[in-house]
Amino acid sequence: MAEPAVRIPDAKVALSTASVYPESTATAFEIAARLGYDGVEVMVWTDPVSQDIEALRRLSDYHQIPVLAVHAPCLLITQRVWSTDPWTKLQRARAAAEKLDASTVVVHPPFRWQRQYARDFVAGIWRMANETDVRFAVENMYPWRYRDREMLAYAPDWDVTKDDYRHFTIDLSHTATARSDALDMVDRMGDRLGHVHLADGRGSAKDEHLVPGRGTQPCAEVLERLALTGFDGHVVIEVNTRRAMSSAEREADLAEALAFTRLHLASAAKVPRR
């Protein structure tokens, strides 16, 4: 039997609810269903619906769109969401993922000023991972820059491959901001790469989260590598559409991102020599 012309991995393509900001979490479910995404990643933040498991379940059931991942509230603007204690936040994120049948909790490394949390973080993530089937996928970050100054804001490190975690999330907007080599990071993560935040960037000090293909990151090459290696995690579109002039323009951006992702996940199979 001839080898198929393309090889498409089992990876599902999800929409981050952050991608529709300033519109709501509920709007993200509606758009994801209408555009044909495989699911959503819920960014838990100040929108009350994002914090309410039953509300999320109703949205999932109504739109027939599953929650594939939960992003724990670890941004600066979510320091008081689901408690001020970072471990409580992760426990609640895990509970939400379990109740919603999501496979992954995305978490950032601690801020340096969270000293006790940072000191215990690597061991604590392993401990929590051992208590559940949900993946805790720790996400790469970046140095903070202002003009010619650089501040290392994350601990143990913004480059999460320097520490021992069971699963990683790679974010290609963050590799752009860090000015690091995304393909090299994918290689270093190896089979521990469990989750992808797909976006683009141009190397600005600002975390841009551009639509894939509009920056300088090797988004297509990363997707093709995932296809060739049989990646079975989730690829999540996490882009910034705040500058969209209308809902129609926002949807067009999210449709373009989905089409780009599906195209490049369909990797050409090797043709046997005769």
Domain ranges of the chain: 11-265
Per-residue model confidence (pLDDT) at position 4: 56
165 and 138 Cβ atoms separated by less than 8 Å: yes
Tokens of 151: 């501040």
User: In which band, very low, low, confident or very high, does the pLDDT at 6 lie, cut at 50, 70 and 90?
Assistant: low
Phi-psi region of 75 (alpha: psi -120 to 50; beta: other; left: phi over 0): beta
Query: Which residue, 46, 44, 14, 49, is CA-closest to 31?
Result: 14
Percentage of the residues of the chain whose pLDDT score is greater than 90? 85
User: In which band, very low, low, confident or very high, does the pLDDT at 243 lie, cut at 50, 70 and 90?
Assistant: very high
Query: Which residue, 122, 108, 121, 42, is CA-closest to 79?
Result: 108
Taking the mean position of all CA atoms in its chain, how far away is CA 134? 15
pLDDT tens across 146-193, in order? 877 888 999 999 999 999 999 999 999 999 999 999 999 999 999 999
Please check the confidence at residue 274 and state whether its pLDDT lies above 60.
no
What whole-number distance in Å separates Cα of residue 148 and Cα of residue 123? 35
Is the peptide bond prior to 143 cis by the omega test (within 30 degrees of 0)?
no
pLDDT tens across 183-222, in order? 999 999 999 999 999 999 999 989 999 999 999 999 999 9
Tokens of 78: 């979510």
Write the CB contacts of 169 (distance below 8 Å, at least 6 apart in sequence): 104, 106, 137, 138, 139, 140, 194, 195, 196, 197
* Domain formed by 11-265, architecture: Alpha-Beta Barrel (3.20)
What whole-number distance in Å separates Cα of residue 217 and Cα of residue 220? 8
14 and 68 Cβ atoms separated by less than 8 Å: yes
32 and 24 Cβ atoms separated by less than 8 Å: no
Angle between helix 53-63 and helix 25-35 axes, rounded to 10 deg: 20
User: In which band, very low, low, confident or very high, does the pLDDT at 271 lie, cut at 50, 70 and 90?
Assistant: very low
> Over the chain, what is the mean pLDDT?
93
